[in-house]
Amino acid sequence: MLDFAAIVNELARTEVLIVDCQTTGASPAHGAVLEVGWGLARADAAPVEQLNAHWVTLPPGCSVGGRVRQLTGYHEAEASAALSPEEAWRRMRGVTGDAPVPTAIHFARFELAFLRDWAARFEPERQFPLDAVCVHAIACRLYPDLPRRSIRALAGYLGHGVDLTRRCRGHVEATAFIWRKLTAALAPLGVDTWARLRDWLAAPAPATPRSGRRRYPLPSARYRALPDQPGVYRFLRSNGDVLYVGKAASLRKRVASHFGARSGPHERALEMLTQVHDVDVTPTPTPLEAALLEDEQIKTLHPPYNVQLVVADPRTWFSSPDFATATPAPDEVHRRGPLPSTFSVRALAAIQALASGESPTRSLRARAVGAPTSWAPDEEVFAAGFATFALGHALPAAASPEAQRCALVAAAKRVILAARSAPASPDEDGATVTEPDGWDPERVVRHLERAVAHAYQLLQRARWLCLLHDSAVLFQEPTSDRPRVLVLRDGRVQESRDHAADLPVPSEFRHRSLRDRQASFDRTRYDHLRTLTTELKRVLRDGGTATVRVGRARWLRQGTLEALLLWV
């Protein structure tokens, strides 16, 4: 059937220039364009034509801050082929004519300041070539109750995913997608030409009553109907993309808590919730099994809004006895592991080296306190702090490496026990006390103690995970009426079931040497067993029970298990 409305919708057939800029500052006076992208789009045609995105060379003295690097993925090596600002402007002007061209920019007020600055510098005698509208302003009128209308939130709400890294190519494609959706939503309002769109934006916005409560795309009836039992939930976009995976002791209560937080979700959470059109759930028998399934699904699905349990490096690491070197596989020298990173016990190696009399170079001081080299404490302050640390923990000077290791183990245990028994340190308003900006001897001592304790826990955890690698776990949640059995082989749960007897019948495991078990570890297995360990601690802490069979016939009863888990 012929769609007459589409034929007469001139706005949908108008070719529009889509522009996006990433910058180092909020205005031309305080920053410069870091990247620019553009393309031509029509609302009645899907592909973006002449899509371009280029890094832009920065003026002398202009630097890219850490936050901007994190958001944009900027690195000098990737920007080696950057265009000069004049060349970038010239290329973009190549797709415009002499008359101002219809242009759609997501945050036009912000980006137009930089584009007008370029136009004034490179074509001062010519008319500004962009007749720009703000996509965000259009969305504010069309969707006044949407919690957030950033480019990621709005594109996701309408069914298009945008990478969390702010790159111009992806933003141009997302803006073109949003433009197509907004044009369709404007047509029933009679806004079907560029001139009418301009008039519509210029007219005062109609007054709309506000309830004071955020309105999310996901109906509350959907999550109120979820089961009141443990499981894993997945937030979905309208196009089916998985946004976030979470675990819950009660699916109904946990999912509802995302949308009903009294203090209000933080900005990233609001951006995500703006895009959630549905929730998919998988009930599990226990919260422990929900946590294991959550870990698996995050690793498999890579949801953009999950931060924890997501790692870029799939490897685990193994350290030499002196902690000076690490390799991604165990060998005759590197036998201590698995460890989550090459930095896991680096501070311990530095502290041992300093205790052995090595010169406290800036690099060594930084490693000992777990700080970047540029932020290392000065030599005098560090010396005072290290002396206090050595005296307080009876760290022997000029002793054998074994004697030093024993002293550091004892120090780590004291620090861990003290941290477990000490109350939180709130200030008068109830907020956690923060560290001072600079170094003093007391702060050096705190960092040395934390470094020793953290390294010791990681080494003890490595031993424990190797035990758990092939095992059977019998546990009972404090709220459950029956125990559950998990059978692990090769670092993964292979079987789970209810169990009525006191102990499960031992399964036949292959006899695997410690080296074989170590060699089979990757970061997925490491995180899976670490998650299981955390959940076993929770079960025991909350009044449940747990025992673990390691090897073919050795059982770690609850008292032994609690004592072992204290250090991991």
120 exposure class (CB count in 10 Å sphere: 0-12, 13-18, 19+): exposed
What's the mean pLDDT in 537-560?
90
3-state secondary structure 195-259: HHHHHHHHCCCCCCCCCCCCCCCCCHHHHHCCCCCCEEEEEECCCCCEEEEEEECCHHHHHHHHH
pLDDT at position 267: 85
pLDDT at position 420: 81
Q: Which residues of 42-57 are buried (b: 16+ CB within 10 A; e: fewer)?
A: bbeeeebeebbbbbbb
Q: pLDDT > 90: what percent of the chain?
A: 69
Of 232-236, 443-447, 549-553, minimum mean pLDDT range: 549-553
Q: Which residues span the domain enclosing 365?
A: 317-424+435-461
Q: 292 and 328 in one domain?
A: no
Q: Is residue 154 part of a domain?
A: yes
**Would you say residue 505 has pLDDT above 60?**
no
Q: 514 and 453 in one domain?
A: no
pLDDT at position 5: 46
Of 11-25, 102-116, 254-268, 524-538, minimum mean pLDDT range: 254-268
What's the mean pLDDT in 439-467?
94
Q: Is residue 251 part of a domain?
A: yes
Give the model confidence (pLDDT) of 265-304 as tens digits: 688 899 999 999 999 999 999 999 999 999 999 999 999 9
Sheet with 242-248: strands ordered across = 242-248, 231-236, 278-283
pLDDT at position 433: 45
Q: 381 and 257 in one domain?
A: no
Q: 248 and 168 in one domain?
A: no
Q: 142 and 89 in one domain?
A: yes
Q: Is residue 364 part of a domain?
A: yes
What is the average pLDDT score of the chain? 89
**Among 154, 274, 144, residue whose Cα is nearest residue 210:** 144
16 close to 8: Cβ distance less than 8 angstroms? no
Confidence category of residue 2, pLDDT binned at 50, 70, 90 = very low
Domain count for the chain: 4
pLDDT at position 150: 94
SS3 69: helix
Give the model confidence (pLDDT) of 411-442 as tens digits: 999 999 888 876 654 444 444 445 556 899 99
Q: Is residue 209 part of a domain?
A: no
Confidence category of residue 401, pLDDT binned at 50, 70, 90 = confident
Q: 329 and 290 in one domain?
A: no
Q: 324 and 294 in one domain?
A: no
**Would you say residue 474 has pLDDT above 50?**
yes
Contacts of 365 (CB under 8 A, 6+ apart): 350, 376, 377, 379, 382
User: Sign of the C-alpha dihedral, residues 554, 559, 565, 566?
Assistant: negative
**Would you say residue 207 has pLDDT above 80?**
no
Q: 157 and 90 in one domain?
A: yes
- Please give the structure tokens belonging to residue 560: 């032994």
Q: 448 and 364 in one domain?
A: yes
Question: Cα(107)–Cα(3) distance, rounded to whole angstroms?
Answer: 32
**Would you say residue 78 has pLDDT above 90?**
no
Confidence category of residue 264, pLDDT binned at 50, 70, 90 = low
**Last residue of one domain, picked from the residues 301, 332, 365:** 301
Question: Cα(222)–Cα(352) distance, rounded to whole angstroms?
Answer: 57
Contacts of 543 (CB under 8 A, 6+ apart): 478
85 close to 57: Cβ distance less than 8 angstroms? yes
pLDDT at position 424: 53
Confidence category of residue 261, pLDDT binned at 50, 70, 90 = low
CATH code (residue 53): 3.30.420.10
**Among 165, 128, 180, residue whose Cα is nearest residue 13:** 180
Q: Is residue 207 part of a domain?
A: no
Give the model confidence (pLDDT) of 178-196 as tens digits: 999 999 999 999 999 999 9
Higher local confidence (pLDDT), 3 or 76: 76
Confidence category of residue 514, pLDDT binned at 50, 70, 90 = confident
Of 203-212, 415-424, 448-457, 468-477, minimum mean pLDDT range: 203-212
pLDDT at position 236: 97
Confidence category of residue 510, pLDDT binned at 50, 70, 90 = low
**Last residue of one domain, picked from the residues 170, 202, 234:** 202
Q: Between the CA atoms of 350, 354, 355 and 359, what dihedral angle is there, to the nearest 10 degrees?
A: 160
Q: Is residue 215 part of a domain?
A: no
546 close to 561: Cβ distance less than 8 angstroms? yes
Q: Which residue has the tokens 């979470």?
A: 246
Contacts of 413 (CB under 8 A, 6+ apart): 456, 567
Q: 234 and 271 in one domain?
A: yes
Higher local confidence (pLDDT), 449 or 264: 449
Question: Cα(20)–Cα(103) distance, rounded to whole angstroms?
Answer: 11
Q: Is residue 430 part of a domain?
A: no
**Would you say residue 478 has pLDDT above 80?**
yes
Question: Cα(425)–Cα(428) distance, rounded to whole angstroms?
Answer: 10
Q: 324 and 242 in one domain?
A: no
Q: Is residue 445 part of a domain?
A: yes
pLDDT at position 322: 84
Of 161-175, 313-327, 400-414, 524-538, minimum mean pLDDT range: 400-414
